[in-house]
Structure 1
Amino acid sequence: MSEHFAGSCNEQQSRTNLPAWSQLEQHATKMREATLRELFDADPDRAAAFGIQDLGMYADFAKNRINAETLTLLTELADQCGLREKMAAMFGGEKINISEDRAVLHTALRAPRETTINVDGGNVVPEVHEVLEKMAGFATAVRSRTWRGHTGEPIRNVINIGIGGSDLGPRMAYQALRPFADRNLHLEFVSNIDGADFVEATQGLDPAETLFIVSSKSWRTLETLTNAATAREWVLAAFDGDASSIASHFVAVSTNTEGVPEFGIDPANMFGFWDWVGGRYSLDSAVGLSLMVAIGPENFIEMLGGFHDVDEHFRTAPLERNIPALMGLISVWYNNFLGAESQAVLPYSHYLAHLPAYLQQLEMESNGKHVTVSGAPVDYQTGQIIWGQPGTNGQHAFYQLLHQGTKLVPCDFIAVVEPFSDLAHQHDLLNANVFAQTEGLAFGRTEQELRDAGSPEEQIPHRVCKGNQPTTTLLLDRLDPRSLGTLIALYEHKVFTEGVIWDVDSFDQWGVELGKLLADTIAEELTADSVPSMDHDGSTTELIRRYRTGRGRE
C-alpha cells in the first residue's frame, strides 16, 4: 500500500476531523445565506478574481457561491489531505490503486518519448510509444485503403465492439472530432448486449468491407465477447464459413494472448495495454484505436498533447489557479458543505453530445465509494450524480427545474468560441444562450423586476426565478483534437482531486462486479430446459418465472 495513501488514513480516521473541514462547515452556515447578487454587489471584479485564462480556454468560476475565504479554506483542506503529495505519488508510478495494488498511470499514455516513469523498476514510456507506433501503422493502412478484407476489398466500415470505457471514450471522442474524421470511412460502436445494437450497427453494411475492433483487456467481458461472437458469425456467414476470413476482418485491443488467437485474430493484430490503465481512463491508449483510424495518427497525437498540457498544469500550477483542482474542490464544497447531490454538465456543442455520458462513468464509477482507502466506512457524502445534455436542447427539457425548482444543482457550461460551420449566426445564437443561462441562473428575476416589466400581478409568483444557482463556464477557444484532450484531462484530474479529499480509491470499481456475478447465475436459469431450482428473493424468482413463461419455457 502506498504510504502516501495509507498513512493519512491511519492517522486521521475521518476527513470530518480535519481543522479545515470544521472551518468549512462553519463558513458554509454564512455562505448558505449569501446570494450571488450580493457577492457580485460586494465585489464587482469577481470575474477577474475567479477567472483563469490558460490551456486554450477561459475558466469562469465567478458565478459560484464562493468567496476568497471559501477558496482559502478549500485549499487548506487540500493541503491537509495531502493533495500535492498524492499527485506526486500518481505521477511517479506509485501503486495508489490500493485495493488492486496497481499504479495509476493514464498520465504515462501521453507522456513525451523522453520522459522516464518507472513501474516495478522499469520505464513504461518506451512501451507506450511502441504501441502508439503500431496503432499508427494500422490506422494508416486502413485509412489508405491498403488494409484489405478477405476478398481483397478495401475497408470502408469500422465497428468498435466494447463496453464501458472501451466504448464511451472512443464513441464520445469520435462524435467530438467528426470534422477531423475521414468522411469516407463509416464508424459504428456496439456495446449493448441487446442484439438490436449489433443489428442496427451492421444494417446495410457489406461484410467484405467491414472491420471489427474488439476491445476487452481481459477478453472475458460478457457483453463484448457476446457481441464479438455475433460479429464472427456474421462474417463467417458471408464467406461460407471460411475461418481464415476472421484474420482480415478483426483486430483486438486486449492483453489476453491466449483468448485472442483462439478467436481467430492474428496475434500480430493485437494491441496491448497495461493493468495501470483503468478502463475509464483508457481513451488515449490502444482503446482509442478506432478513433485514431477515424481522425488519423497526427490528430490523435495532437489530442495526447492536450492531455499532457493539463497534466503539467495540474502538477505545477498553484492550487488557487489550478483549473482541475479548483473544479474538484468546488465540487466538494457543494457536495459536502452545501448539500448538493448532483451536478449537470451542459456542453453547448453538438459535437460534445456524448460528453455527459462519458463523464458519468468517469466520475460516478471512480468516486461512488462508501469506504476509505483503508477500508473504513465514510461518514460523509462521496461521489455526486452526474447528468446532462447538450444545449440548447436541455433548455426545453429540464432547465425549468434549474431555474424554479427546489434543488441545488451546480452546472458546468462548456462553450466554444470558434464555429466549425459557415453558419456563424447560429453559433452566435448558441453562445448567447450559454451566457444568458448562466446569468439567469445566477441572478434570477425578482418580483420588482417583473412588475417593472409589466407582468400581470397574478402571474408574478409563478414567474419569479430566485437565481443563486451556481455555474462554472469553460469557454474553449476552439474544439479540436488538442482542446478535446485538454477538456477530458481537466475532468480526470478533477475526479482525482475529489477522491483525495474524500479519501477513497478512485481507481477500482468493485461495485460493478456484483451485478455481473448475479447475471451469470440468472442467465442459466432463464434458459434452462426444465424449471430450475432458484435461490432468490420472491420478487426476483417471480420475474424469472414470468419471463420463462413468456418465452415458452414452462
Structure 2
Amino acid sequence: MSMPVRCDATPQWPLLRAHFEAAGRDLDLRQAFAGDTQRFAHFSQPAPHVFADLSKNLWDRQAEALLLDMARACGLEQRRDAMFVGQPVNCTEGRAVLHTLLRRPAGLALPGDLPFVAPALEQVHATLDAMLDHADAVRADDGITDVVNIGIGGSDLGPHMAVLALDAYRAPGKRFHFVSNIDGHELHGVLRGLRPERTLFLVASKTFTTIETMTNARSALAWFADQGGRDVARHFTALTVNVEAARALGITRTFGFWDWVGGRYSLWSAIGLPLAIAIGSAGFRGLLAGAHAMDEHFRTAPLAQNLPVRLALLDLWYRNFHGFTSRCLAPYHAGLARLPAYLQQLEMESNGKRVDLAGRPLPMATSPVLWGEPGSNGQHAFFQMLHQGSDVLPLEIVAVRQCAHPLPGHHEMLLANALAQTQALMVGRASEDGHRHFPGNRPSSFLLLDALTPASLGALIALQEHRVFASGSLWGINSFDQWGVELGKVLACDLQQRLASGDLSGLDASTAGLLSRLRG
C-alpha cells in the first residue's frame, strides 16, 4: 500500500489554522445558534440505530467543510476501502484488519475483496455457527449456573461491557463473572461463591500465553481439582488459536479466531462467547447485524453524512486546533457502566501513538485521554469541573430513549438530567458572584439510541471503532498495533525473578529501593 497523506501535509491544514485563529477560537455557541436557525439540522444526523447531535460543539460549517476537504486529501476513503477488502493496513505487523468480516453476512462479497476474503468469511460463519450452538446448549443447561470469563484487555473489556449492557436479555438462572486482574484477590473473591460442578470457565487468550490470563486459568484449574471437580472438558472452554496449549491443560473444547482480528476488536469473534451465552444466538446475531449496518454506513455514506467520519473530524479539530487534551464520556444508562473502560482501550491503545506509519515523530498530538462514568453519578463527582473548571473538557453523552424497567418516573428524570447537562454547559449562567458564575460555551455531543438492544449496542460499538480508525488515518498512524504494551511485560518477567532472588544488580536506584522494600 502507498503511504497515505498525513493531515498536516494537506493544503487544508494551514487554511484550518487560519480559520481557527479568525473564527474558531472565539466561536460562541449561543451566538452560533442565534445566527443559524438550521444549525441543529445541519450538525445532527441519523445513522443505523444511533442519532447524533453534534450542534453544541465549537465548530461552524466552514470548519467542517475544510475538515472534510482535508479528509479527502488524506485519502481517508481509499484507506477505509482498503481495510474492508483485506489489504494489510496494519503495516507494522503486515496484517489485514478484518473485524468487519466477523459481522459480514455469509456470502456477501464486496468490490475489491482480496482472494483470501471469501474463504475466510466461510470460516468465520462455520466458527460462528459452532460457537452459537454451544452457547445455546450452555444457556439451556440448568446444571450450569455460573459462567466465569478469564481474560484481560480485549478478551475481557468487550464481553464484560456487553453482558452488563444487555442484562435485560440475559438467560435466567445464569450468573456471569469476569476475572482479568492478576491480583489474586479478584479470582479468589469470585471462586468463594462457586461450586465446581455448576461452573463453566471460559479461558480467553488468543495465544494462550498472556501471563495474567494463564496465571488465573491455572489457579482456576487447581481450585477446580481441589474442590472435587471432575470433567475439565465439560467445565472449561478455551477461546484461542493455540489449541495445543489448551489441550496441555486438559481443555479440549476450543473456539478460535484469526490474526486479522485485533484483541480490542474481538468481541464479534469467539471472544464474545460469554455474551452469546448470556443473550442467546439470536441476540448475538442481532449484535452482529447492528454492527454490520454501521459498517455499511461507514463504507458507503458520503463523508459529509458519514457519522464516524464527522466524529473523527471533530476529534481532530479539538485535539490539534483547540488543544483539548481529553474527552469525557457519560452514558446515561446504568447498563453502559463499563462503556467508558471499553472505549478507553479502543481509543487510547489504538491511537496513543507518537510516530506515523513511516516511523517519523509526529508534530501534533494524537489520541485524547478518554474518561468518564455513568450519568447521573458523574454529575455528583466531576461535572463541577466540566461546568466551572479552568480547562474546557468536551463531553459526550450516550442516552437511550426507551427504558427496560417498570419503575415509574426514573427514566424521565434520567433523560431530563442528560438534556440539562448539555444545555447548562452551553448556555451557562451569568452572575456577579464568581462562585456562582457559569461561563457556558462548553462543548458537548449527544448520541441517542432508541432502545438498548443487541442491534443498537452493536451499531454503537462499530461507530466508535470506525471513528477511531478514521481519526488515526488522518493523523497518519497505525491504529491496529500496540507495541507500547510490550516493554512493561518484559520487565515484569525479570523483576518477578528478582523478587524471589533479591538480585538488585543493574537496577536503577528507585526500582532497587522499592524491590528491597517489597521483599521486607
Which band: TM-score by shorter chain? over 0.9
1:320 positional shift:
1.2
- Separation in 2, partners of 1:97, 1:408: 34
User: Which residue pairs with 1:104 in the alignment?
Assistant: 97
TM-score by length of 1: 0.91
Aligned partner (choices 373, 393, 404) of residue 357 of structure 2 = 373
Give the 5 Å matches for 1:240-389.
245-266=231-252, 269-389=253-373
For residues 32-431 of structure 1, the aligned pairs below 5 Å read 32-116=25-109, 117-118=113-114, 120=116, 123-145=119-141, 154-239=143-228, 245-266=231-252, 269-431=253-415
CA distance in 2, matches of 1:533, 1:471: 51
Kept in 1, the 8 Å contact 2:425–2:440? The answer is yes
Equivalent residue letter for 1:22: P
Report the alpha carbon displacement of residue 394 of structure 1 after superposing the two structures with TM.
Answer: 0.2
Q: Please, which moves more after superposition, 19-28 or 345-354?
A: 19-28
Q: Is the 8 A contact 1:105 1:277 kept in 2?
A: yes
Structure 2: state its 5+ residue gaps: none
| 1:352-388 deviation per Cα after TM superposition (whole angstroms, max 9, x unaligned) | 0000000000000000001101111111001110000
Give the drift of 1:118.
Answer: 3.7
Q: Tell me by how many angstroms 1:16 deviates.
A: 2.0
| From 496, 503, 510, the counterpart of 1:523 | 496
**1-side partners of 2:504 and 2:424: how far apart?**
59
Larger of the two Rg values belongs to structure: 1
- Other-structure match for 1:452: none
1:123-166 CA deviation, whole Å, 9 max, x = no partner? 311111011111111111111117xxxxxxx2111100000000
Per-residue deviation at 1:425? 1.2
Report 1:21-32 matches (<5 A).
21-29=13-21, 30-32=23-25
**Which range moves more in the overlay, 300-309 or 25-34?**
25-34
Q: Would the aligned equivalents of 2:50 and 2:459 in 1 still touch at CA under 8 Å? A: no
Give 1:257 deviation, angstroms.
2.3
Q: 1:533: how far off?
A: 4.1
Gaps of at least 5 residues in structure 1 are: 147-153, 448-456, 550-554
Q: Is the 8 A contact 2:86 2:117 kept in 1?
A: no
Deviation at 1:202, TM superposition (A): 1.7
Work out whether residues 402 and 450 of structure 2, in 8 Å CA contact, stay in contact via their aligned partners in 1: yes
CA contact (8 A) 1:157 1:187 kept: yes
Equivalent residue number for residue 464 of structure 1: 437
Q: Please say if residues 156 and 184 of structure 1, whose CA atoms lie closer than 8 Å, have aligned partners that are also in contact.
A: yes
d(CA) in 2 for partners of 1:80 and 1:361? 29
Contact map agreement 1:339 1:408 (CA 8 A) in 2: no
What CA deviation, in whole Å up to 9, does each residue of 1:271-297 have, x standing for no partner? 000000000000010000011011101
Give the distance between the partners of 1:264 and 1:286, measured in 2 at CA: 19
Is the CA contact (8 Å cut-off) linking 2:145 and 2:199 kept in structure 1? yes
RMSD of Structure 2 on Structure 1 (CA): 1.3
Paired residue for 1:545, among 508, 512, 516?
Answer: 516
- Give the Å deviation of 1:46: 1.1
Match of 1:149 in 2: none
Give 1:183 deviation, angstroms: 2.6
Q: For 1:248 and 1:120, how far apart are their aligned partners in 2? A: 34
The one-letter code sitting in structure 1 at the alignment partner of 2:362 is V
Residues 158 and 188 of structure 1 are in contact (CA less than 8 Å); yes or no, is this contact kept in structure 2?
yes
SS in 1 for 2:176: strand
Is 2:387–2:425's contact at 8 Å kept on the other side of the alignment? yes
Q: Helix, strand or coil for the counterpart of 2:448?
A: strand
Deviation at 1:57, TM superposition (A): 2.9
Q: Does the 8 A contact of 2:85 with 2:117 survive in 1?
A: no
Task: Tell me whether 274-283 or 531-540 shows the greater mean CA deviation.
Answer: 531-540
Aligned to 1:494: 467
Amino acid at match of 2:238: A
Deviation at 1:426, TM superposition (A): 0.8
Distance in 2 (CA, whole Å) between partners of 1:52 and 1:210 is: 45
CA shift, 1:325, in A, is 0.8
Per-residue Cα deviation, 1:32-83 (whole angstroms, up to 9, x for no partner): 1111111111113211111112313321011011111011011011001100
- After superposition, the Cα gap between the structure-2 partners of 1:139 and 1:170, relative to the gap in structure 1 and judged at 3 Å, is same
1:430-509 pair list within 5 angstroms: 430-447=414-431, 460-509=433-482
Q: Is the 8 A contact 1:94 1:119 kept in 2?
A: no
Deviations 1:194-229 (A, max 9, x none): 001101112221111111000000010000000000
Q: Cα distance, 1:121 vs. partner? A: 6.9
| More off after superposition, 31-40 vs 95-104 | 31-40
**Equivalent-residue separation in structure 2 for 1:168 and 1:119 (angstroms):** 33
Q: What is residue 11 of structure 2 aligned with on the other side?
A: 19
CA distance in 2, matches of 1:129, 1:118: 18
SS at match of 1:519: helix
Mapped contact 1:118–1:124 kept (Cα < 8 A): no
How far apart, CA to CA, are the structure 2 residues paired with 1:411 and 1:127?
Answer: 41
Give the fraction of aligned pairs with identical amino acids, expressed as a percent.
Answer: 45
In the aligned structure 2, how far is the partner of 1:119 from the partner of 1:144? Answer: 39
Secondary structure of 2:409's counterpart equals helix
C-alpha contact 2:312 2:467 (8 A) present in aligned 1 = yes
CA displacement at 1:515 relative to structure 2: 0.4
Aligned residues, how many?
516
TM-score by length of 2: 0.97
What SS class does the counterpart of residue 123 from structure 1 fall into? helix
SS state of the match for residue 98, structure 1? coil
Stretch deviating more after TM superposition (210-219 or 25-34): 25-34
Other structure's SS at 1:523 match: helix
Q: Supply the distance in 1 between the matched residues of 2:487 and 2:159 (Cα, whole angstroms).
A: 26
Deviation at 1:95, TM superposition (A): 0.4
Q: Give the secondary structure class of the aligned counterpart of 1:437.
A: helix
Alignment partner, residue 536 of structure 1: 507
- Cα distance in 2 between the residues matched to 1:389 and 1:414: 11
